[in-house]
Structure 1
């Protein structure tokens, strides 16, 4: 199992699977298209009842039928019936966050998640985007799924934040100028989290404390690994303190979530194959980023038509768990020390809607003595992060971020807890625009602080 032990495993999944740098690896089987008849069958499940409307973030913002799941399904049906993918039609598909709140709300069991995924794959394959938009999207997908490229960006970005250039950029009005020239680049500047000194790389194995109860693999991710390394370190410590040997394969890379949810299916499959290979030696895989866990649980469907990988993908999907999901299954063993802090818990869409993980993080937080959990109003409405959405649809994302930030402020909490790096960056930015200094932490960091007996200031005195 070379991917588990090779510290120099390539950042490019195509290379990891033996294909050329520009090739899509695999068996040669065309697995890009949906199964024959699948799209019309799934479309026919919708009875246009409208239960999805109040749960859809873009419909809540604008009240526009074509920017609701029901409206987008109508457009999909038009396309199936022969209408071309026009620019206005594609715009309505692009405005969808893919948050899956409508899937949770639908009484008919409509697989809107699968519908928008297949539709976006067709858009990526068949719709010619304007040059600037195409270049922007390509730049994003050539950067964010690659940890080594993100790591190379850390140094210059940290210098930009620490030398006063960021403050100058904002006070001089240059950021406003950048927003007019490239809203996506401006969004990247605003969303970038404050960066401290790089943490030491996690070892390939973290030993359980006390009697070993389980051996688990741990996904380190891309943005999580390079911009939020403290979350991964806290995750490994919590698992070890609960009696788990933690295996952290060096050969792992991006899980493919960003590509999958943007319709770049063949790219997502390449990332998926590499992830499957990296984790085949473990019985359980623990994931601490909602979007990543959601994507990995979809591998069985993503690679179902690839004979060489279908069974292996199905096995990985079956053993993937969100961190909080797994800790509740395992049961607590380590002592929880008091942590007198009031937190607001944010439901990440790909955790609550895609994975159905809602009660577990709340149960873990409730098990910490002296910690108080407060609920945020309209928890099912997305914060606007949605993978790359806040980069490609920054205005809509900012509106949703402002709504979520107002909900957080209304709780009166001292600390926001979020289980996804994109959500953390998105809500942090929205709070900062409102002049709020609420700190943001991951569920793993809260548990880590309690298990190690840290004081509340270790969480509250954090840069935002």
Structure 2
């Protein structure tokens, strides 16, 4: 096995190789979990912000209830199947973190608890196989790339319509809800785009040099978002460094409790971007995970300082552009958009005003707010694959709120949210295009007109 800190492993991670593990590193939760649990005063402010509590009204499906279960486990209660189910039902959206007046770090609590679940709880065989399939595919861009051709053929030849009309999809729902969710959520795929160059030069006087994370799902399913991100940064005076060998940042693994896997991905990402001063990320879940490296590797003496440095220089695209300040001319773009707050952007990173400020700076653009913006859309990384029924309920709620705005276009800064809300809108018969903040900015900076923007996104 290649050592996790071998530079060649960084290239392999992008090529589809599995990461190494670090079994010898002590788990931080052994001493941190009890301390964090004591911060909760059980006030209940988190209840109305929790999506699963809003859906079902069950105490054990609220952050307060789950913290109570965590405390039971710390005191010696085994991780029973019902207890694990309540932890699995948590989206990890972090709305409760925003709402908590006591500063409870529920994000840390649920991630450490999920790590214990993965280590201690034997899942049923079918569930274990489904989870392994997901985590052997989605964090590996080249594996996703290999899937593109067959998936595009399935979508473009009419086979997908035949499956949907024949009732086979309903049969798949009964056999494997997770596989059916994957089929529904897959975005329409165009032709494969050329790989971005390793360096995109600044337009005009160079103001900064930044590294850019291309991601996994973002890179293979939403390549136009990455291309738009690079163009916007270049037009704002940035040299954009896009390392060829980059792979997964570890977000999906980290948020699912697969900590050994996440640490290996984190080390490789640190090595890949160590020579740049700022790393710009255009996917909310990825940016959140990279900012958490400081905690993820805090007990690893060889990596703790390097992880802290990377977390400190990671910026969401909107966050960085507002820090940098506008230079390129914004051309009018007379479109009405609704802005969706991705949970790992708004709650986990605290980035709320910056995307709105960027959109407000575009002449002619009208931004409409969505009701209950703090309630998750149901995507939550792999949640809509492992908890498809709850995710669909939340998606339907979000789609109705989006439709109520009357907007022509939905803006979302996370690929999972884009797929989740697009699927929910389609189930309602609504055909509202979904765009990334970078794509809207790109259209304005390049002077695209309204019809060109909407036509390109349809």
TM-score range, shorter chain: over 0.9
* Shift in Å, 1:261: 0.2
Q: 2:405 aligns with which of 381, 403, 411?
A: 411
| Residue matched to 2:267 | 273
TM-score (norm 1): 0.95
> Residues 22 and 151 of structure 1: is their aligned pair in 2 closer, same or farther, counting only changes over 3 Å?
closer
Matched, 1:10 2:12: yes
**Using a 3 Å threshold, how does the CA distance of structure 1 residues 8 and 377 change in structure 2: closer, same or farther?**
closer
Q: Secondary structure at the match of 2:12?
A: coil
Quick one: structure 1 residues 269 and 40, their matched pair in 2 at CA, closer, same or farther if it must change by over 3 Å?
same
Aligned counterpart for 2:57 among listed residues 59, 63, 68: 63
CA separation in 2, counterparts of 1:40 and 1:116? Answer: 13
1:261-313 deviations in Å (ceiling 9; x for gaps)? 00000000000000000001100000000000000000011001111111111
* Residue 117 of structure 2 corresponds to residue 115 of structure 1: no
Structure 1 ranges of 4+ moved more than 3 A: 3-8, 12-15
Q: Which residue of 2 aligns with 1:362?
A: 356
> Which runs of 5 or more residues in structure 2 are unaligned?
none
Q: How many residues align?
A: 454
CA distance 1:136–1:121, change in 2 (3 Å): same
1:432 matches 2:426: yes
Distance 2:410 2:86 in 1: 32
Using the TM superposition, give the Cα deviation of residue 81 of structure 1 relative to its aligned residue in structure 2, in angstroms.
1.2
Which residue of 27, 36, 40 corresponds with 1:32? 27
Per-residue Cα deviation, 1:149-179 (whole angstroms, up to 9, x for no partner): 0000000000000000000010001000000
- Structure 1 unmatched runs, 5+: 16-20
Which residue is 1:295 aligned to? Answer: 289
Match of 1:139 among 126, 133, 147: 133
User: CA shift at 1:22, angstroms?
Assistant: 7.7
Q: Distance in 2 between matches of 1:378 and 1:170?
A: 32
Alignment of 1:80-95 (within 5 A): 80-95=74-89
* Root-mean-square deviation over aligned CA pairs: 1.7
More deviation, 450-459/69-78:
450-459
Q: Which residue of 2 aligns with 1:218?
A: 212
CA contact (8 A) 1:439 1:461 kept: no
1-side partners of 2:352 and 2:14: how far apart? 34
CA distance in 2, matches of 1:12, 1:412: 40
SS in 2 for 1:10: helix
Q: Go from structure 1 to structure 2 and tell me whether the alpha carbon gap of 1:65 and 1:293 turns closer, same or farther (over 3 Å shift).
A: same
How much has 1:383 moved relative to structure 2? 0.1
* Cα 1:116–1:434 shift into 2, 3 Å: same
User: Residue in 2 aligned with 1:311?
Assistant: 305
**How big is the shift at 1:463?**
5.9
2:69 matched residue in structure 1? 75
Matched, 1:128 2:119: no
Could you tell me how far apart the structure 2 residues matched to 1:372 and 1:437 are?
19
Give yes or no for the alignment of 1:239 onto 2:233.
yes
For the 8 Å contact 1:288–1:323, the answer to whether it is kept is yes
* Cα separation, partners in 2 of 1:202 and 1:14, compared to 1, 3 Å: closer
- Match for residue 181 of structure 2? 187
CA distance in 1, matches of 2:35, 2:52: 25
How far 1:11 moved relative to its partner?
Answer: 2.6
CA contact (8 A) 2:14 2:141 kept: no
Partners of 1:439 and 1:459 within 8 A in 2: no
Q: Which moved more, 1:72-81 or 1:337-346?
A: 72-81
Which residue is 1:337 aligned to? 331
Partner Cα separation in structure 2 for residue 303 and residue 123 of structure 1:
20
